[in-house]
Amino acid sequence: MMKSIAITLLLLIAFENNTSFGYIIDPGPQIKATNGEVWPRPKFEQKTPKYFVIDPDNFDFSVIGRTCDILEDAVVRYKNIIKNTVKSILRSTLTNYHYHNKPITQITINLTSPCEFMPNLTMDEWYYLSGSGNILAHSIWGILRGLETYSQLITPANNGLLKIRDVRIRDSPRYPHRGLLLDTSRHFMEMKTIYDVLDGMAYNKLNVFHWHIVDDHSFPYQSIKYPELSEKGAYLPDMVYSQNDVASVIEYARLRGIRVIAEFDVPGHTRSWGNSHPELLTECGEPYKGKLGPLDPISEESYKFMENFIEEIVQVFPDKYMHLGGDEVGFECWDSNSTIRNYTKANNLTYTHLQKKFMEKVTRMATNNSVNPIVWQEAMVENVNMPEGTVVQVWLGDWRKLFSEFTNAGHHVLLSECWYLDHLSTGGDWLKYYRCEPENFNGTNEQKKLVLGGEACMWSEVVNNNNVVQRIFPRVSATAERLWSQEFIRDEIDAKRRLEEHTCRMILRGIPAQPPTGPGIC
């Protein structure tokens, strides 16, 4: 009996890891990488059996349409990336393929409309390309995505040359909001780390960097109006993001077609604000006397402060969305403070009412500055009156039920519940992210249209500069394909093989990605 349970377990584990059956294992990589396949999978791909040769020392981009700084910068980046592809270990002998006689010496880029300056929610990411060396798009963002795809199709041959299949691809994303949240409060992330993350995002066609920049533990954002917030709230004086740093992140992201959405989470998750502004937080009473709780919801001062602060944030971060948090507001401190307790009694309110009032007010401060608020699900307490355009991000509990509810009330939603990158199961645990389908909830077509996309979340309690990039990549690639590719792209055998290649590719490009699935060569 015991023995058969043990064997069943062993088989289950074997299935789970997709290793060979039992102890019978073939030598070589567990998953054989593809060669010149694209991640995330494009919408329409028409393949021919023929290939073109590219000499890495004798090709160039030829810009035949509009151009701008974004395009010029991208051309330099992708030229280097393509040249560097000769170093990939995924080489194959040229003799195994059929070739067009003429090698590709020019890759033409035809942007048909003037560049937009900043990416935004409605950015057009459509592009067309042919392996013969043409990239066409009607917006600069489509050109960026097309260059990424083109570079992924190229693989090395064994004689120092490169090859690309004669394909035609027409591609555009399934969802407009494909994000990654990075928490820079629990551990401070260096600029180099943030740049690496943004590069990796571009390689996965992710387009929103959700910067969870401050939280309870530290306040690294150097404010213009309130510099004391980081002076006293950062872990160390040099663990701050100056205005220059913030502008550099926004610029680096812009050049890659990535939006930067800042989160200033209120009224909870604000303990570090209290190092310089204790008057904004609630002084707890017994049994928590001596401690500070969430922002004080009944003082005019905290609202005045938020108004001034939000005015600054919307100037510093150009995106038309900002995140105001609203999650995990503990009521125990409010309840221990007799001023607040008496106020709620006198006005026949609950603490949920206080939270609701607070979020209704601060979200309107955002809309008063022409910026749409994003909030975590807890802000949507019963009968809350959020301004039009508020987006709800779902991270906890039965997300299907919550998606039904929120979209039924007409709200746009973002999914994160199944994409927590800090929740490790095994090393190669990306399939659980891959299997999460954002429209798998009960709702009408109209409701489904309110799904803007989603975000993978990299909370930083147990990651720092030494392991955060490895933890994100390639696990976030699963989320990236789910949000970019068509719903029916879910062949896991195929995905494993492509992700193996994509991981090699990211490593070659300087992203220290961890192995996705098991024994392998990258």
Ligand X SMILES: *[C@@H]1O[C@H](CO)[C@@H](O)[C@H](O)[C@H]1NC(C)=O
Residues marked active site are found at: 328
Task: Tell me if 447 sits within 8 A of 401, measured CB to CB.
Answer: no
**By C-beta, is 282 or 393 nearer to ligand X?**
282
**By C-beta, is 80 or 385 nearer to ligand X?**
385
**By C-beta, is 376 or 403 nearer to ligand X?**
403
**By C-beta, is 29 or 389 nearer to ligand X?**
389
Task: Please give the Cα distance from 389 to 19 (Å, whole number).
Answer: 47
- Pairing of the two strands 106-111 and 134-137: parallel
Site for ligand X in 241-260 (CB under 6 A): none
Q: How far is the CB of 299 from ligand X (least distance, A)?
A: 6
Residue 285 touches ligand X, criterion: CB under 6 A = yes
Listed residue (494, 476, 468) closest to 432, CA to CA: 476
* Contact string 465-504 vs ligand X (x = CB under 6 A): ----------------------------------------
The size of the interface with ligand X (CB under 6 A), counted in residues, is 29
Only segment of 9-17, 37-45, 152-160, 361-369 that touches ligand X (CB under 6 A): 361-369
Choose which of 188, 203, 309, 441 interacts with ligand X (CB under 6 A): 441
Look at residue 154 and give its three-state secondary structure. coil
* Residue 96 main-chain phi, psi, to 5 deg: -80, -5
Residue 13 touches ligand X, criterion: CB under 6 A = no
Task: Tell me if 443 sits within 8 A of 402, measured CB to CB.
Answer: no
DSSP assignment of 361-415, as one string?
A: HHHHHHHHTT-EEEEEGGG--TT--PPTT-EEEE-SS-HHHHHHHHHHTT-EEEE
Buried-state track 265-298, b at ≥16 Cβ within 10 A, e below 16? bbbbbbbbbbbbbeebbbbbbeebeebbbbbbbb
Choose which of 263, 296, 405, 501 interacts with ligand X (CB under 6 A): 296
* Contact string 321-340 vs ligand X (x = CB under 6 A): ----------------xxxx
Helices assigned H by DSSP within 115-154: 140-153
**Owner of token pair 């879910």:** 490
- Pairing of the two strands 321-325 and 292-295: unpaired
Only segment of 5-13, 71-79, 87-95, 359-367 that touches ligand X (CB under 6 A): 359-367
**By C-beta, is 233 or 373 nearer to ligand X?**
373
Site for ligand X in 82-121 (CB under 6 A): 110, 112, 116, 120-121
Residues lying near ligand X in the complex (CB under 6 A):
64-65, 110, 112, 116, 120-122, 136, 282-283, 285, 296, 307, 320, 337-340, 342, 348, 361, 364-365, 368, 400, 440-442
